[in-house]
Amino acid sequence: DVRASTITDEMAIVASETLAQMAEEKGLSPDYILPTMDEWDVFPREAAAVAMKAQEQGVARLTTTYDEEYARATAIIRCAREMTQMLMERDFIPGAPEVGSDRVRRC
């Protein structure tokens, strides 16, 4: 997190390019054009790429390297995923509904 003062169009473009690149690396098909939410390894890459663009454009309040931002984002996301998993295992929050279930269709 470089604490960007704004989100620029260029930052949004870099985010979308990172998603597209990850999808291409995993193999595009008619049923797969973007990484799924379960493919969380894309998000640290996206965060690091956007942080670099924010620094390049002068809207970042903090300076970091790609590797530092990637490691930071990975740690934050891993912690959040582990906490969510623990809360689901202890029934504090419901698990995600299966795709195609009534709960998903009603949303």
**Conformation bin of residue 100: beta by default, left when phi > 0, alpha when psi is -120 to 50:** left
- Inform me whether the pLDDT recorded for 38 exceeds 80: yes
Distance separating alpha carbons of residues 1 and 64, to the nearest angstrom = 9
Distance separating alpha carbons of residues 92 and 85, to the nearest angstrom = 10
pLDDT of residue 32: 93
Instruction: Count CB neighbours of 42 within 10 A.
Output: 19
Phi, psi of 32 (to 5 degrees): -145, 100
Give the model's confidence band at 104: pLDDT under 50 very low, under 70 low, under 90 confident, else very high: low
Give the model confidence (pLDDT) of 47-64 as tens digits: 999 999 999 999 999 999
Q: Which residue has the higher pLDDT, 96 or 20?
A: 20
Instruction: Count CB neighbours of 16 within 10 A.
Output: 11
Give the model confidence (pLDDT) of 6-33 as tens digits: 999 999 999 999 999 999 999 999 999 9
Q: What are the domain boundaries of the chain? A: 9-106
